[in-house]
C-alpha cells in the first residue's frame, strides 16, 4: 500500500530511514525469506500505512491491525520481533506527525502500536491455533486408527504433545487432568508432576472458575464447537498469568465425548507490554509523576466536575538554577535531582486529594482539592522548601535545590484550565524574577496586565512583518542656544486596536524576545536612508542601544553596512551603548565600544549613574558622549536645595565628565525650566518634551530651533 498523496522529499527520506532501521533490527530477531531490498520495501509500506493513519483527519487506529497481521504472514515472528518493532515505531511516528502540538499525539501513537500488537498477536494465535487444529485432528485420527497403528500413533501424539510450545492438557469429562505437557507447567511455574490429579477448575481465580466450567459444558453439549477466550490463570505462587485459552472436545470411536483438549497460550509478556505502553502515555518516565498531558486531563476533570463550593489550589513549582547541576555535575545528576524533587512533592501531599505532574524540563505542578484537612498553601510551600533544602548525596557530593512557586486558587466550575495553568506559570515567573526561593500568589490585576503585555510582545514580529512598526525622531538640542544638534531614532508601533505604542514599550518588548537584534538594524538602516534622502545637514543621528544590542557580536558589521549603504559620514552617527552591559562585559560589549571608536563613529554611553567603574571606563576608552541615566532626571535634583547631597553629587559628576572632554546629555526633560537647571549644572545637551515631541523626519528637522534655555 502506498501513500494516497505524494510525500515531500524530506518526509519520504525519513520514512525510508525508519524502514531501513526497522529492517536492520528485526532481521536480527527472525529469519525472513526476503532479500534486504525486499524487506526494506515491505517495511516501508507498513510505515506509510501507520504514518498515514496517524496524520489522517479522522483518526482510525484499526488500520494498524493489518500491519501486525502482515508482519506475521511474512514471517517477522522472532522472539523479540514485536518488541523491536514497537521501540522503532514509537519515536518515528511521533516525529512524522504533521501536528506535533496535538495533545492527543502520544495517545494516537499508543493506539496505533496497541492495534499493531493486537493484529500481530491475533495472527500468531490464529496461525498457532491452525497448527494445533491439525494436531487435534491428528490426535483424533490416531485414536480412530489405534487398532491398526497404535504404536506409531502413540509415539506421534507424545512427540507433538510434549514438544509443543503451547501449554496442553487432556482432561476427562469431570475436568481432572489425564495428561499435561511441560509447556503448561512452565506457564503455571510449577513442576509438571504437581498437576497430576488436579482439577482444571483449580487453575483459575475463584471468581472466574464458574465461567470456565460453563465454557467446558458448552463445548461438551455442542453449543460451541470450540471455545477461544482470554483468561486469567493462577500460577503456583498465586500470581496471575494472562493466557489465551482454547477448549475443544475429543470423542471416542462411538462418537461419545471422552476428553477435553485444553490449549493455553501465554499472553503475560504481551499484557506487560501493553501495560507499559499505557503507563508511558500518562506517566513521566523519569520521575513517575503524571506527564503534562495527563496532568492537564486531570485538571480538566476536576474543573468540569466541580461543585459551586469546590476549591482547588494549583502550585507551579520551578527549580531555581537547575542548569548549575546539569552543567556542573552532569545530566545524570540532574535526572537524579528531578526524581528527588518529585518524590519529596509526592510525600508532602500524600495525605491529600492531589495530583502531581511534570509540566516542563525542571518544572512541576501540584493540583490540590482543598478540604478542611488541607493546610494553607503557605504551609505547603514552607514544607517544600524545608525538605528540598536537605542535601542528597550523589557520590561524595551533597546536592540540594531551591524552588520558586506560583500559586493560583480557584473556586467552582471552570472550562478554562489553560488560563489557570497560565496564571500559575506566569505567577511563578514573576516570583523567579524577584530572586531564588521565592513564591507569589496570583494577582488578577497584575496577571491581566502581564497577559496583555505578553500578547503584544508575541504579536510584535508579525507587526514588524506587516509594516506596523515605524521610525520616529526626537530632537536633541544644545542647551546653550536651543539648536537641534541631533535626532534620536525611536520606534513607534501603529497598532490597529491599541493605537500608537511608544518607543520605550516597543524597546522593552523587543528586548524581552530578542527581536531587538532584528528590529534594531532595520531601524538604523531605515533612519540612515531617511537622513540621506532628506539632507539633514550637520544634524547627527543618535542611537541608544539596549543591553542585548550593545552586547551583540554582529554590531560592528551592522554599523559598517549602514555607513556603506547610506553614504553618511561616521561622524554623523552617535552610538551610545548601555553602560550596564559594558561594565558587566556582556557578550562583545567592550569590544564593540572599541570597534565603533575605530570606525570614526561618535561613541557614547547611556544609563550613566556616576560610579567609579563608569568614570574609569569613560577615561580609559576616550568616551565622546555620556547620557545620564533617566533615573537622575526622575529623582529631580533641581527640586532640592542647592546644598543638598544629591545636587552636589550630580554637579560634581557633570563637572568631572566635562573635564574628560565628553559631551554630557540628559533625556526625558519635561520643561524649559528643567532644561535650564541642567544647563546651569554644566550639561551640554538635552531632549524631552521641552525640545519637541517625537515625530517623522519632516516635522522635527531644525527649521525651527527649540527655545533657548537662556530665554533667547
Which cell numbers in the block locate residue 103? 495533545
pLDDT confidence band for 676 (50 / 70 / 90):
very high
Q: What is the mean pLDDT of residues 8-12?
A: 80
Is the pTM of the predicted complex or chain greater than 0.85? no
CATH number of 283-442: 3.30.70.270
pLDDT score, position 276? 55
Residue 692 has pLDDT above 70, yes or no: yes
> Over 403-456, what HEC string results?
EEEEEEEEECCCCCHHHHHHHHHHHHHHHHHHCCCCEEECCHHHHHHHHHHHHH
pLDDT score, position 3? 46
The H-or-E segment that residue 21 falls in is helix 9-27
Place of cell 509594516: 467
Greater confidence (181 vs 341) lies with 341
Q: Could you read off the pLDDT of 547-584 as tens digits, one per residue? A: 999 999 999 999 999 888 888 889 999 999 999 999 98
Q: Could you read off the pLDDT of 634-647 as tens digits, one per residue? A: 777 777 787 888 88
Q: Which long-range contacts (CB under 8 A, 24 or more apart) does 501-507 make?
A: 501/456, 502/694, 503/472, 503/694, 505/456, 506/460, 506/469, 507/546
- Domain boundaries in the chain? 9-133, 164-272, 283-442, 454-692
Of the candidates 122, 117, 47, the one whose C-alpha atom is nearest the C-alpha of residue 273 is 117
pLDDT score, position 445? 65
pLDDT confidence band for 684 (50 / 70 / 90):
very high
pLDDT score, position 181? 85
pLDDT score, position 573? 92
Q: Which of 22-26, 186-190, 230-234, 514-518 reaches the highest mean pLDDT?
A: 514-518
DSSP letter for each residue of 305-367: T--TT-EEEEEEEEETTHHHHHHHH-HHHHHHHHHHHHHHHHHHTTTSSEEEEEEETTEEEEE
Residue 463 has pLDDT above 70, yes or no: yes
Q: Which long-range contacts (CB under 8 A, 24 or more apart) does 667-670 make?
A: 667/606, 667/627, 667/628, 667/630, 667/633, 668/630, 668/633, 668/634, 669/633
pLDDT score, position 471? 92
pLDDT score, position 444? 66
Q: Is 495 helix (H, G, I), strand (E, B) or coil?
A: strand
Q: What is the DSSP letter of 571?
A: G
Which cell numbers in the block locate residue 537? 545637514
Q: What is the mean pLDDT of residues 470-480?
A: 93
Residue 662 has pLDDT above 90, yes or no: yes
Cα distance between residue 170 and residue 161, in whole Å: 10
- The answer to whether 262 and 254 have CB atoms below 8 angstroms apart is no
pLDDT score, position 358? 92
* Phi and psi, residue 8, nearest 5°: -70, 150
Q: What is the mean pLDDT of residues 407-418?
A: 72
- The answer to whether 529 and 566 have CB atoms below 8 angstroms apart is yes
Q: Which fold does the domain 454-692 belong to in CATH?
A: TIM Barrel (3.20.20)
Cα distance between residue 540 and residue 645, in whole Å: 35
Cα distance between residue 551 and residue 595, in whole Å: 12
Domain 164-272: CATH architecture, name and number where available = 2-Layer Sandwich (3.30)
Of the candidates 304, 307, 280, the one whose C-alpha atom is nearest the C-alpha of residue 294 is 280
Which cell numbers in the block locate residue 350? 500524600
The proportion of the chain whose per-residue pLDDT surpasses 90, expressed as a percent, equals 29
**Taking the mean position of all CA atoms in its chain, how far away is CA 382?**
28
pLDDT score, position 696? 86
Residue 282 has pLDDT above 80, yes or no: no
Residue 705 has pLDDT above 50, yes or no: no
pLDDT confidence band for 1 (50 / 70 / 90):
very low
Residue 532 has pLDDT above 60, yes or no: yes
pLDDT score, position 388? 93
Greater confidence (71 vs 161) lies with 71
Which cell numbers in the block locate residue 5? 498523496
Greater confidence (690 vs 157) lies with 690
Q: Work out the mean pLDDT of the chain and round it to a whole number.
A: 84
Q: What is the mean pLDDT of residues 196-224?
A: 86
Cα distance between residue 4 and residue 525, in whole Å: 49
Q: Could you read off the pLDDT of 94-122 as tens digits, one per residue? A: 776 666 666 677 787 788 888 888 888 88
Q: Could you read off the pLDDT of 485-502 as tens digits, one per residue? A: 999 999 999 999 889 999
Q: Which of 68-77, 337-346, 454-463 reaches the highest mean pLDDT?
A: 337-346
Q: What is the DSSP letter of 290?
A: B
Amino acid at each position: 500500500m502506498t501513500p494516497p498523496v505524494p510525500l515531500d522529499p524530506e518526509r519520504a527520506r525519513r520514512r525510508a530511514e525508519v524502514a531501513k532501521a526497522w529492517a536492520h533490527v528485526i532481521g536480527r530477531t527472525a529469519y525472513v525469506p526476503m532479500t534486504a531490498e525486499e524487506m526494506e520495501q515491505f517495511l516501508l509500506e507498513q510505515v506509510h500505512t501507520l504514518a498515514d493513519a496517524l496524520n489522517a483527519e479522522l483518526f482510525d487506529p484499526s488500520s494498524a491491525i493489518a500491519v501486525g497481521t502482515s508482519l506475521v504472514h511474512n514471517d517477522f515472528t522472532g522472539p523479540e520481533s514485536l518488541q523491536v518493532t514497537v521501540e522503532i515505531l514509537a519515536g518515528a511516528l511521533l516525529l512524522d506527525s504533521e501536528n506535533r502540538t496535538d495533545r492527543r499525539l502520544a495517545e494516537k501513537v499508543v493506539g496505533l502500536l496497541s492495534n499493531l500488537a493486537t493484529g500481530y498477536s491475533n495472527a500468531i494465535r490464529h496461525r498457532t491455533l491452525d497448527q494445533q487444529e491439525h494436531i487435534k485432528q491428528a490426535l483424533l485420527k490416531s485414536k480412530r486408527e489405534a487398532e491398526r497403528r497404535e504404536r506409531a500413533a502413540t509415539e506421534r501424539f507424545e512427540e507433538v504433545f510434549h514438544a509443543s510450545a503451547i501449554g496442553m492438557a487432556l482432561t476427562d469429562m469431570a475436568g481432572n487432568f489425564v495428561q499435561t505437557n511441560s509447556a503448561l507447567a512452565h506457564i503455571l511455574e510449577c513442576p509438571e508432576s504437581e498437576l497430576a490429579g488436579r482439577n482444571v477448575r483449580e487453575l483459575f481465580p475463584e471468581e472466574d472458575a464458574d465461567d470456565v466450567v460453563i465454557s467446558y459444558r458448552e463445548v461438551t453439549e455442542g453449543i460451541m464447537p470450540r471455545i477461544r477466550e482470554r483468561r486469567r490463570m493462577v500460577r503456583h505462587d498465586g500470581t496471575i498469568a494472562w493466557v489465551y485459552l482454547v477448549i475443544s472436545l475429543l470423542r471416542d470411536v462411538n462418537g461419545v465425548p471422552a476428553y477435553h483438549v485444553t490449549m493455553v497460550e501465554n499472553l503475560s509478556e504481551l499484557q506487560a507490554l501493553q501495560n507499559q505502553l499505557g503507563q508511558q502515555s500518562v506517566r513521566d518516565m523519569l520521575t513517575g509523576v503524571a506527564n503534562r498531558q495527563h496532568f492537564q486531563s486531570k485538571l480538566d476533570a476536576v474543573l468540569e466536575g466541580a461543585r459551586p463550593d469546590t476549591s482547588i489550589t494549583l502550585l507551579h513549582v520551578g527549580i531555581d538554577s537547575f542548569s548549575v547541576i546539569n552543567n556542573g555535575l552532569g545530566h545524570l545528576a540532574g535526572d537524579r535531582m528531578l526524581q528527588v524533587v518529585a518524590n519529596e512533592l509526592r510525600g508532602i501531599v500524600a495525605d491529600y486529594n492531589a495530583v502531581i505532574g511534570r509540566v516542563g524540563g525542571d518544572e512541576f505542578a501540584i493540583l490540590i482539592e482543598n478540604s478542611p484537612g488541607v493546610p494553607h498553601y503557605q504551609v505547603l510551600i514552607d514544607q517544600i522548601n524545608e525538605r528540598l533544602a536537605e542535601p542528597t548525596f550523589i557520590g561524595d557530593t551533597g546536592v540540594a535545590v531551591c524552588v520558586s512557586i506560583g500559586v493560583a486558587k480557584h473556586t467552582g466550575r471552570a472550562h478554562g484550565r489553560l488560563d489557570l495553568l497560565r496564571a500559575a506559570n506566569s505567577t511563578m515567573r514573576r516570583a523567579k524574577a524577584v530572586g531564588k526561593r521565592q513564591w507569589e500568589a496570583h494577582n488578577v490585576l497584575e496577571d491581566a496586565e502581564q497577559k496583555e503585555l505578553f500578547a503584544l510582545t508575541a504579536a510584535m514580529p508579525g507587526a514588524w512583518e506587516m509594516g506596523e512598526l515605524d521610525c520616529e525622531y526626537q530632537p536633541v538640542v544644545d542647551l546653550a542656544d536651543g539648536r537641534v544638534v541631533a535626532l534620536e531614532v525611536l520606534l513607534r508601533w501603529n497598532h490597529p486596536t491599541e493605537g500608537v505604542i511608544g518607543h520605550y514599550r516597543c524597546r522593552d518588548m523587543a528586548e524581552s524576545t530578542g527581536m531587538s537584534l532584528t528590529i534594531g538594524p532595520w531601524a538604523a538602516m531605515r533612519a540612515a536612508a531617511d537622513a540621506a534622502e532628506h539632507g539633514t545637514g550637520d544634524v547627527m543621528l543618535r542611537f541608544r542601544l539596549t543591553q542585548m544590542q550593545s552586547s551583540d557580536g554582529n554590531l560592528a558589521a551592522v554599523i559598517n553596512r549602514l555607513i556603506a549603504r547610506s553614504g553618511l559620514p561616521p561622524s554623523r552617527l552617535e552610538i551610545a551603548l548601555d553602560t550596564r552591559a559594558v561594565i558587566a562585559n556582556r557578550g562583545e560589549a567592550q569590544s564593540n565600544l572599541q570597534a565603533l571608536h575605530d570606525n570614526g563613529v561618535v561613541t557614547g554611553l547611556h544609563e550613566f549613574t556616576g560610579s567609579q567603574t563608569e568614570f574609569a571606563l569613560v577615561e580609559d576608552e576616550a568616551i565622546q558622549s555620556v547620557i545620564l541615566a533617566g533615573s537622575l532626571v526622575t529623582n529631580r535634583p533641581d527640586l532640592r536645595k542647592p546644598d543638598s547631597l544629591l545636587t552636589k553629587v550630580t554637579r560634581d559628576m557633570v563637572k568631572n565628565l566635562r573635564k574628560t572632554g565628553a559631551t554630557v546629555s540628559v533625556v526625558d526633560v519635561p520643561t524649559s525650566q528643567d532644561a535650564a537647571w541642567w544647563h546651569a549644572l554644566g550639561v551640554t545637551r538635552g531632549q524631552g518634551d521641552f525640545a519637541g515631541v517625537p515625530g517623522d523626519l519632516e516635522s522635527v528637522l531644525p527649521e525651527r530651533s527649540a527655545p533657548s534655555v537662556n530665554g533667547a
